């Protein structure tokens, strides 16, 4: 890292979620509970998708990918956050910060792509139902999932490496609860205009563009749903698609607010809470949204619990 002195190898200081130390234990409790719910909820989705033969479909293949992604995404930041909230030590090692920078950006960008893939799956299921099985074959599903994970990784490698080239000139205080690109750019003592332009361009490509594609696909889906003659069929399709749309709006809305509008959205604490929302809250509510509004998932859960009671 050019321009950095030897102090960087000692690590960075994460300033945390709030400027009020007396609230740290409250944040610790809330975030810990949210993290545990994230692990349990998403692990349940993955387990059900693997064990129940009725869920061996493209939709649940992508949903289990999303759950795996959410577990990894929140784990890349929350454990370190809990450590810093628990005691007076707010440091993170140089290696830990760099790893968090790469992994957090990788998984965040992957989720942006994966949500588009899931919208495409719903589009084919609703608008091309007779050709759904032929189009969404296992080979294509695997390819789309690989594109999402590798696309996110490529973005992370390029953007994180570019950020780490900035001269930091002894600055070690990261005004955030994790090492992410906007917070690291603020540490630089040189010209960051190019980095900010690249950040805005990449974030637009990974958030605003996919969101526009998803909303356009749902306009076609809505028209197709209205043509379904069966009220039960319309309700089932609507519930399935609405679950995905709610997840999309929660994730993209908070990501756009946090990355594309940082200078226009009020105080620094507001930006931290938005980052906290898409890194902690969204991975927690995703399985709740899909489970509460999806009869197939609830049915698979009842069958699994029933087998557990019989085995006991």
- What's the pLDDT at 190? 79
111: in domain: yes
pLDDT greater than 70 at residue 79: yes
9 pLDDT band, cuts 50/70/90, is low
Based on the number of CB atoms within 10 Å of its own CB, is 263 exposed (0-12), middle (13-18) or buried (19 or more)? exposed
308 pLDDT band, cuts 50/70/90, is low
Average pLDDT over residues 121-134: 91
Domain ranges, residue 227: 6-311
pLDDT greater than 50 at residue 6: no
69: in domain: yes
- What's the pLDDT at 29? 93
Strand order, beta sheet including 173-174 = 91-92, 12-14, 173-174
- What's the pLDDT at 91? 86
227 pLDDT band, cuts 50/70/90, is confident
CB 173 within 8 A of CB 12: yes
Average pLDDT over residues 174-200: 84
114 pLDDT band, cuts 50/70/90, is very high
- What's the pLDDT at 293? 61
The DSSP letter of residue 174 is E
Query: Which secondary-structure segment (H or E) carries 14?
Result: strand 12-14
Give the whole-angstrom CA distance, residue 270 versus residue 34.
19
Beta bridge partners of 23: none
pLDDT over 70 for what percent of the chain?
Answer: 88
269 pLDDT band, cuts 50/70/90, is low
1: in domain: no
What average pLDDT is seen over the chain? Answer: 83
Give the whole-angstrom CA distance, residue 304 versus residue 231.
29
pLDDT greater than 50 at residue 93: yes
276: in domain: yes
pTM of the model: 0.86
- What's the pLDDT at 101? 92
Burial 238-262 (b: 16+ CB within 10 A, else e): bebbebbbebbebbbbbbbbbbbeb
Average pLDDT over residues 95-122: 92
Sequence-distant (≥ 6) Cβ neighbours of residue 258 within 8 angstroms? 182, 271, 274, 275, 278
Residue 18 or 265, more confident? 18
CB 6 within 8 A of CB 166: no
* Domain count across the chain: 1
CATH of the domain at 118: 1.20.1070.10
Give the whole-angstrom CA distance, residue 95 versus residue 12.
10
> Per residue in 144-177, pLDDT tens?
999 999 999 999 999 999 888 888 776 778 878 8
């Amino acid at each position: 890292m050019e321009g950095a002195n030897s102090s960087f190898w000692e690590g960075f200081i994460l300033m945390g979620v709030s400027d009020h130390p007396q609230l740290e234990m409250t944040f610790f409790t809330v975030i810990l509970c949210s993290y545990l719910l994230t692990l349990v909820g998403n692990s349940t989705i993955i387990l059900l998708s693997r064990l129940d033969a009725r869920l061996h479909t493209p939709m649940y293949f992508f949903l289990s990918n999303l759950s795996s992604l959410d577990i990894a995404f929140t784990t890349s930041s929350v454990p370190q956050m809990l450590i810093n909230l628990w005691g007076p030590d707010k440091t993170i090692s140089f290696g830990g910060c760099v790893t968090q920078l790469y992994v957090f950006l990788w998984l965040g960008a992957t989720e942006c792509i994966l949500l588009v893939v899931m919208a495409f799956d719903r589009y084919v299921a609703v608008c091309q139902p007779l050709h759904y099985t032929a189009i969404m074959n296992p080979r294509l599903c695997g390819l789309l999932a690989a594109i999402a994970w590798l696309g996110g990784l490529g973005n992370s490698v390029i953007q994180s490496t570019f950020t780490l080239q900035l001269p930091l000139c002894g600055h070690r205080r990261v005004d955030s609860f994790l090492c992410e690109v906007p917070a690291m750019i603020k540490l630089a003592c040189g010209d960051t205009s190019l980095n900010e332009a690249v950040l805005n361009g990449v974030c637009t490509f990974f958030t605003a563009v996919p969101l526009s594609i998803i909303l356009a696909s749902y306009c076609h889906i809505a028209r197709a749903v209205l043509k379904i003659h069966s009220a039960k069929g319309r309700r089932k399709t609507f519930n399935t698609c609405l679950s995905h749309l709610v997840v999309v709006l929660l994730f993209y809305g908070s990501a756009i607010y946090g990355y594309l509008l940082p200078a226009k959205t009020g105080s620094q604490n507001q930006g931290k809470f938005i980052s906290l929302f898409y890194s902690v809250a969204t991975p927690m509510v995703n399985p709740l949204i899909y489970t509460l509004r999806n009869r197939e998932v609830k049915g698979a859960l009842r069958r699994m619990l029933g087998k557990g009671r019989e085995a006991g």
